[in-house]
Amino acid sequence: QQQVKQSPQSLIVQKGGISIINCAYENTAFDYFPWYQQFPGKGPALLIAIRPDVSEKKEGRFTISFNKSAKQFSLHIMDSQPGDSATYFCAARGSNYQLIWGAGTKLIIKP
């Protein structure tokens, strides 16, 4: 119940295309769903986050879509650029302030 399942494990997208990464969860008590971006040799950094009372949040080229009934949420990167190549993690926050992390998706944007 504490797991967050993330897919795909890796993704290759052409420059200018749309990158989509999906996550699913079971615990309905989760109250915050962030996405983190990690570049090689760096720590993860918060990219965008959403609360379960909102179905979509957009920040620039990055959008989170949230489906509460399906217990799924996804990250969409529009007009993907080579600089977006990184590992992306979804996560969910439980009542004890811990983040439960997905396994990560390695995204490669081909020029």
Partner 1 sequence: DAGVIQSPRHEVTEMGQEVTLRCKPISGHDYLFWYRQTMMRGLELLIYFNNNVPIDDSGMPEDRFSAKMPNASFSTLKIQPSEPRDSAVYFCASSPVGGGYEQYFGPGTRLTVT
Map residues 73-102 to x or -, x wherever contact with partner 1 holds by CB under 8 A: ----------------x---x--xxxx-xx
3-class DSSP assignment, residue 89: strand
Q: Which amino acid is at 20?
A: I
**Site of tokens 């119940």:** 1
Map residues 37-66 to x or -, x wherever contact with partner 1 holds by CB under 8 A: ----xxxxxx--x-----------------
d(CA 15, CA 75) in angstroms, rounded, equals: 17
Binding site for partner 1 (CB under 8 A): 32, 34, 41-46, 49, 89, 93, 96-99, 101-104
